[in-house]
Structure 1
């Protein structure tokens, strides 16, 4: 059996953050494939507390020390987006494989530079667009490929962000400043678009509108009010590269009606994917469909046996799917996990949407 791949986390805390709730259960579910060998946080004291709480062998004083260590094979970066570029660059310069949370960079230019550096170093560099590894998305891709809907005529998406309306917590306030690269478009919408591209192919010409119903956001834990520059309504219309009609509407907050619906309509059948929130990367997705003479949607879920032994939380289950692909890529020289190049293409799509919204033209 191959030796475990030794993972070093930059940004792991045992107090309810994404890395703790998704990455750690994901890695545990994969048995001896990986070993969490080290951690580095914003301070040596924070890293030491995490290492002690989670039984991690080493706490490094700085991220640079972790990246340089011979005891680390893979650096996983799970910090806020504005810090991605510096920390990923450290890991790549040290010749380490990288798993970075999406978004890859704070904007397109950072993504371009990181993708070029990863190619130069020749390492496995993965961006965490984990909706692509959801069992439901993989099955949906197979359904469409097998002709369940026939020729795709149209696809439409409605999603809510949970955040990006007029209230949030202090810990999440940075999401409401578009300069931080963590807007509704950057996170839930982009994660969903990554899955759409996997299932239906690239998106062609499009038009877009961005609106803000709220100019400020209130922090519920302190009562403080802060300015808000991130849009809370994003609408995109156009065509898939295949020629099928495409429409999308993401809304800030959460509503009492539809919070996630992705519909695919074709010449032979129709599919609906639903969830409690518009974060396809971490919500349990439900797939239903009908074709031919069927008049009502019925469940079209993956075989239940596929869920056995995997994390119950969909976010952790999807992250585990990315780690499994990543391990195969490291050991076999393949590129099955979402690469930095894939992430760059997604950043380019977001830039096209932003330009279309600014200019009022198709891009």
Structure 2
């Protein structure tokens, strides 16, 4: 491009004082004022949109999502609402010819994701699914280490993670996560986000054999005292292989524990790498990378250079999202294809679908 272009962003689902959009998307976009300007919002009501617009000093509060996507003031529509609403809202934005950033999961299941991807291709817009662990500096660093042969031939990889939710208690606001019909389960959110990163580092998945365990059939809603049915699993077990032939073992568990809440190991003929974190959501936590190879007997720090973090948001979730927005900007303004696309999202949905289909056949 010969001149810089500032893209105008409209949010569907943004409250200024809470939730993921405020914690991660706002600081991500605010770190790039030369590329993006947030100009409008549509929430569940006009009053809610007006409160957000006033708090954030946005020029436009839209009465409905349809009004937002139809507005000539909006270049990019960002959708950060619950999964069951993604299909309708993404469809509206695409049909209005807008570029889209939709939080992961893209759809409530594989079929919705496929339909949205086909529509995005038909409309010829840039459509990004927010698998932001793929934007993590640590994941890019890992992929380079593997490519350069740090561990030699990869023999196996092991992943253990805690979902944070999906145990025996929750608050009413998050109960929807515990109903499988909503497509917001442990396997579709924290595990899938992490699998997106693993795929970037180790390549495609091949055979997957899985099992779901339900230690809790009910969930206590702590803020109301109710007990409700729980249909999402609280233990997800997967064994299989990568396309490279490496062995794969996964265990995701509900809640959190007093040990390591994210442990990902890569073992090879020449060395070993260990990735740890405070929660099984690789997309939103600080990842710590250690490794050893050759004659080394103990793991040593294996992090990216500190300089690469400069100028990026401190919160890892916002930092990762800012890097996806930067790619989205390039894709819109230069015609490149660098951000996680809807096509990529379909492939990830296929992995989740394979895990679910295998578990449900047991």
1:8 and 2:13 aligned = no
SS state at 1:32 partner = coil
Task: Give the Cα separation in 2 of the matches to 1:34 and 1:243.
Answer: 43
Match of 1:347 among 346, 349, 356: 349
SS state at 1:185 partner = coil
Query: Match of 2:249?
Result: 247
Task: Give the Cα separation in 1 of the matches to 2:213 and 2:334.
Answer: 46
Deviation at 1:359, TM superposition (A): 2.1
Task: Give the Cα separation in 1 of the matches to 2:292 and 2:244.
Answer: 22
- Cα deviation, 1:276-296, whole Å, max 9, x if unaligned, reads 110000010000000011100
Query: Match of 1:171?
Result: 173
Query: Match of 1:270?
Result: 272
Task: Give the Cα separation in 1 of the matches to 2:277 and 2:74.
Answer: 37
Query: Match of 1:222?
Result: 224
Match of 1:206 among 200, 205, 208: 208
SS state at 2:356 partner = helix
Structure 1's unaligned 5+ residue stretches are none
Which residues in structure 2 correspond to 1:40-51 (within 5 Å)? 40-51=42-53
1:329 and 2:331 aligned = yes
SS state at 2:303 partner = coil
1:149 and 2:151 aligned = yes
Deviation at 1:238, TM superposition (A): 0.6
TM-score, normalisation: structure 2: 0.98
Deviation at 1:299, TM superposition (A): 0.5
Which residues in structure 2 correspond to 1:7-156 (within 5 Å)? 7-156=9-158
Task: Give the Cα separation in 1 of the matches to 2:361 and 2:169.
Answer: 29
Query: Match of 1:238?
Result: 240
Task: Give the Cα separation in 2 of the matches to 1:171 and 1:358.
Answer: 27
CA RMSD of aligned residues (A): 0.7
1:317 and 2:336 aligned = no
Out of 305-314 and 287-296, give the one that drifted further: 305-314
Task: Give the Cα separation in 2 of the matches to 1:354 and 1:83.
Answer: 21
- Cα deviation, 1:124-161, whole Å, max 9, x if unaligned, reads 00000000000100101111011100110000100000
Structure 2's unaligned 5+ residue stretches are none
- Cα deviation, 1:171-198, whole Å, max 9, x if unaligned, reads 1111000000000001000000000111
SS state at 1:221 partner = coil
Query: Match of 1:301?
Result: 303
Deviation at 1:308, TM superposition (A): 1.1
Deviation at 1:105, TM superposition (A): 0.4
Task: Give the Cα separation in 2 of the matches to 1:30 and 1:242.
Answer: 38
Query: Match of 1:279?
Result: 281
Deviation at 1:355, TM superposition (A): 1.2
Task: Give the Cα separation in 1 of the matches to 2:175 and 2:308.
Answer: 37
Task: Give the Cα separation in 2 of the matches to 1:356 and 1:192.
Answer: 19
Query: Match of 1:356?
Result: 358
Query: Match of 2:293?
Result: 291
Structure 1 ranges of 4+ moved more than 4 A: none
SS state at 1:287 partner = strand
CA contact (8 A) 2:5 2:333 kept: no
TM-score, normalisation: structure 1: 0.98
- Cα deviation, 1:228-274, whole Å, max 9, x if unaligned, reads 00000000001000000001000000011121100000011000000
Task: Give the Cα separation in 2 of the matches to 1:184 and 1:205.
Answer: 20
Task: Give the Cα separation in 2 of the matches to 1:221 and 1:315.
Answer: 27
Deviation at 1:31, TM superposition (A): 2.8
